[in-house]
């Protein structure tokens, strides 16, 4: 008896479920079976710009729209090459390579997402990948084109912490070099990068020099470029795409907490003498960071003929370091173009620091110099500047017209005689009595050719833009950033460009 009741209840439950389905089905509009039914696409081609081997691409999406007068059934959405395709698709959360029996109500739509990973190819030039997505409705096939412009590359690093490069590594320009994660150069070792190398860095990645050497040896017209690995057009001018970020656990009052260590895209720690020449760094967070390194005889970093721009943080960050530079252009950073902090030795000639950041407000100056910090107990700690000089430099920006804002801020608690700014043009409202200013204009805006076009050549022939002679112990090259001859006698021009 008991068994019979269970069977009866099971049958009754099944019958009710079937009736529910039938009732629900009857409530829907019938599926259109007309062979003229078509699906409308928000785009008939999905295009991917340069995509690097194994890293993949940005996900692209289109809408599949039912503009027919009734419900339709897409019999299948599939990649023509199926499992062998280098592309991947997903429709409304259902992964491919094939999705069957997809209903779309009248006037409704679904999203189709596509991405691609380029397989390794033994070639150094870009190549085209082509594929089709085929949609079948009532026996009629429609197609969406997939096109990827791929490029092979040499990869360094990987997920996780720092991946140490082979000692005395050398990178040449036969293929782009892609950094995934953080790659390191160990103590006493070096990384040499030769002309024309394109260095593409994945988000959160960079180069960490740990008491080793970095030798970036670009040439005029064959500069070495450091930028992010997202080369779709929408990323061409996006700052903050790369820069070292290492996630770690730290002990706090409430226990272990995950934190991120943020640093420069190129981060020099304890380097006995690195060189960056003829390089371009763009679209990162902090371009170059130099920490507690160098000496009065050999700078931790010698940087010349280099452009750093469009950083979401600081272009050049130095902390208690020794840095020497000439013919450099630092512009457009969300914070400072250059920050020389915690003391150190900084000697720059013929460099332009021009901050015309336009992606929102900016509270930091173009150039910041200080010699102290406050410790954990709130005590002031001075780390003095040593023989620091800026000669024939320009320090200006789009905040120069604001009341109470200086594009050069010098905050010294130690010996002011350790700093000299001579034959420069700077924006500084409260400059009277400054011991470290000599023959320097503080209220005349440099006549740049076009700040809108970011052309920082000087357009005026006035002698006010003549600099002064450079002592033998200061960095100086006989040509400017353009490669034009510089007047190296008594009156070379201020900034990174010599007037022609």
pLDDT in tens, 44-62: 999 887 677 667 777 899 9
Lowest mean pLDDT among 147-151, 178-182, 271-275, 331-335: 147-151
pLDDT at 431: 67
Closest of 109, 100, 103 to residue 134, by C-alpha: 100
> Given this model, what pLDDT does residue 250 score?
59
Residue 302: name the closest of 193, 384, 214 by CA. 214
**pLDDT class of 2 with cuts at 50, 70, 90:** very low
Per-residue confidence (pLDDT) for residue 251, from 0 to 100: 63
| 17 pLDDT tier (thresholds 50, 70, 90) | very low
Q: Tokens 């005889």 label which residue?
A: 297
Cα torsion 471, 475, 476, 481: sign: negative
pLDDT (mean) for 348-352: 98
Q: What is the predicted pLDDT for the residue at 24?
A: 43
Section 322-343 average pLDDT:
97
CA 475 to the chain's CA centroid: 29
pLDDT for position 260? 67
Is pLDDT larger for residue 14 or for residue 76? 76
pLDDT at 148: 82
Under the banding of pLDDT at 50, 70 and 90, the label for residue 23 is very low
Percent of the chain with pLDDT over 70: 87
Query: Please, which pLDDT band fits residue 418 given cuts at 50, 70 and 90?
Result: very high
- Summarised one tens digit per residue, pLDDT across range 217-244 is 999 999 999 999 887 788 899 999 999 9
- State the pLDDT at residue 252: 58
DSSP state at residue 38: -
More confident residue, 169 or 7: 169
> In the numeric block, which tokens belong to residue 22?
């039938």
Mean pLDDT of 83-89: 92
Tokens of 377: 């107990």
Chain centroid to CA 72: how far? 45
Task: Determine if the pTM surpasses 0.85.
Answer: no
Tens of pLDDT, residue by residue over 428-454, are 986 666 789 999 999 899 999 999 999
Distances, alpha carbon 334 to alpha carbons 131, 286, 315, 331, 361, in Å: 41, 10, 9, 10, 8
More confident residue, 119 or 375: 375
Mean pLDDT of 150-172: 87
pLDDT over threshold 60, residue 30: yes
Query: Average pLDDT of 348-353?
Result: 98
pLDDT score at 232: 77
Question: Which residues, 6 or more positions from 70, have their beta carbon under 8 angstroms from its beta carbon?
Answer: 29, 30, 31, 32, 106
Angstrom distance (rounded) from CA 173 to CA 177: 8
Apex 474 CA angle, 471 and 480, nearest 5: 100
Average pLDDT, the chain: 88
Which pLDDT value is given to residue 161? 75
| pLDDT band, very low/low/confident/very high, at 292 (cuts 50, 70, 90) | confident
Concatenated DSSP letters of 374-443: E-TTS-EEE--B-SEEEES-EEEETTTTSTT--SEEEE-SS-GGGEEEES-EE--SS-TT-TTEES-BSS
In sequence order, which ranges of 49-186 are alpha helices (DSSP H)? none
Q: What is the predicted pLDDT for the residue at 486?
A: 92
Predicted confidence band of residue 155 (pLDDT cuts 50, 70, 90): confident
Predicted confidence (pLDDT) at residue 126 exceeds the cutoff of 60: no
DSSP letters of 245-275?
Answer: EEEEEEEETTEEEEEEEE--SEEEES-S-EE
């Amino acid at each position: 008896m008991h068994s019979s009741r269970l069977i009866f209840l099971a049958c009754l439950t099944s019958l009710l479920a079937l009736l529910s389905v039938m009732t629900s089905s009857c409530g829907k509009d019938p599926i259109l079976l007309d062979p003229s039914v078509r699906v409308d696409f928000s785009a008939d081609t999905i295009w991917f710009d340069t995509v690097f081997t194994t890293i993949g691409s940005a996900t692209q999406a289109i809408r599949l729209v039912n503009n027919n007068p009734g419900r339709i059934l897409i019999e299948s959405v599939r990649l023509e090459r199926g499992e062998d395709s280098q592309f991947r698709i997903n429709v409304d959360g259902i992964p491919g390579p094939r999705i069957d029996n997809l209903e779309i109500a009248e006037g409704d739509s679904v999203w189709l997402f596509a991405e691609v990973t380029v397989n390794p190819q033994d070639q150094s030039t870009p190549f085209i990948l082509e594929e089709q997505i085929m949609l079948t409705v009532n026996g009629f096939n429609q197609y969406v084109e997939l096109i990827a412009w791929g490029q092979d590359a040499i990869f360094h690093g990987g997920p996780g912490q720092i991946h140490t490069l082979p000692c005395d590594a050398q990178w040449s320009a036969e293929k782009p070099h892609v950094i995934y994660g953080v790659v390191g150069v160990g103590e006493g070792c070096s990384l040499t990068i030769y002309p024309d190398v394109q260095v593409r860095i994945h988000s959160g990645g960079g180069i960490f020099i740990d008491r080793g050497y970095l030798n970036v040896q670009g040439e005029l017209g064959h500069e070495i470029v450091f930028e992010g690995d997202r080369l779709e057009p929408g990323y061409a001018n996006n700052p903050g795409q790369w820069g070292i970020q290492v996630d770690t656990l730290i002990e706090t009052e409430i226990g272990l907490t995950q934190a991120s260590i943020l640093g420069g895209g190129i981060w020099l720690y304890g380097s006995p003498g690195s060189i960056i020449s003829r390089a371009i760094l763009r679209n990162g967070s902090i371009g170059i960071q130099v920490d507690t390194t160098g000496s009065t005889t050999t700078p931790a970093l010698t940087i010349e003929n280099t452009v750093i721009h469009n950083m979401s943080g600081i272009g050049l960050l130095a902390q208690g370091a020794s840095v020497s530079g000439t013919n450099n252009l630092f512009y457009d950073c969300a914070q400072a173009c250059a920050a020389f902090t915690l003391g150190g030795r900084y000697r720059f000639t013929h460099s332009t620091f021009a901050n015309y950041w336009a992606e929102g407000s900016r509270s930091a100056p173009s150039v910041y110099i200080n010699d102290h910090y406050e410790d954990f107990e709130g005590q002031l700690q001075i780390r003095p500047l040593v023989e620091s000089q800026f000669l024939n430099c320009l320090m200006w920006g789009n905040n120069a017209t604001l009341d109470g804002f200086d594009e050069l801020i010098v905050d010294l608690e130690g010996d002011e005689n350790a700093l000299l700014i001579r034959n420069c043009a700077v924006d500084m409202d409260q400059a009277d009595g400054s011991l470290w200013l000599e023959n320097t204009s503080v209220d005349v805006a440099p006549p740049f050719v076009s700040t809108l076009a970011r052309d920082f050549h000087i357009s005026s022939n006035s002698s006010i833009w003549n600099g002064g002679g450079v002592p033998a112990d200061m960095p100086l090259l006989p040509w400017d950033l353009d490669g034009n001859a510089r007047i190296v006698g008594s009156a070379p021009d201020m900034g990174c460009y010599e007037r022609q």
